Amino acid sequence: MTSSFMRNALIGGTLVPIAAGVIGDFVVVRGTACAAQALGHVGLPGAPGAGLLGLPVTLGLAVFCVGGAIVIGALGRRRAGDREVATGTVLAFAVGLGLYFSSQATRSSSTMTNVLFGNLLAISPQELIVFAAFLVGVVAVVCAVFRPLLFASVDERVARSRRVPVRALSVLFMVLLGLVVTMSVQVVGTLLLFALVVTPAATAIMLTPRPGRAIALALVLNLLSVWAGLVLATMFSLPPSFCIVTIACTIWLVVRLTGRSRQVQL
Q: What pLDDT shows up at residue 80? A: 47
In angstroms, the CA 60 to CA 63 distance is 5
Q: Mean per-residue pLDDT for 184-200?
A: 89
Q: What pLDDT shows up at residue 2? A: 54
pLDDT tens digits, 50-66: 878 888 888 999 999 99
Q: For the CA atoms of the chain, what is the radius of gyration?
A: 18
| Residue 181 pLDDT class (50, 70, 90 cuts) | very high
pLDDT tens digits, 153-178: 988 889 989 999 998 999 999 999 99
pLDDT surpasses 90 at 16: yes
In angstroms, the CA 49 to CA 94 distance is 11
The Cα angle at residue 239 between residues 237 and 244, in degrees rounded to 5? 115
pLDDT tens digits, 197-216: 999 999 999 999 899 999 99
DSSP conformational letter for 163: T
Q: What pLDDT shows up at residue 81? A: 61
In angstroms, the CA 43 to CA 181 distance is 9
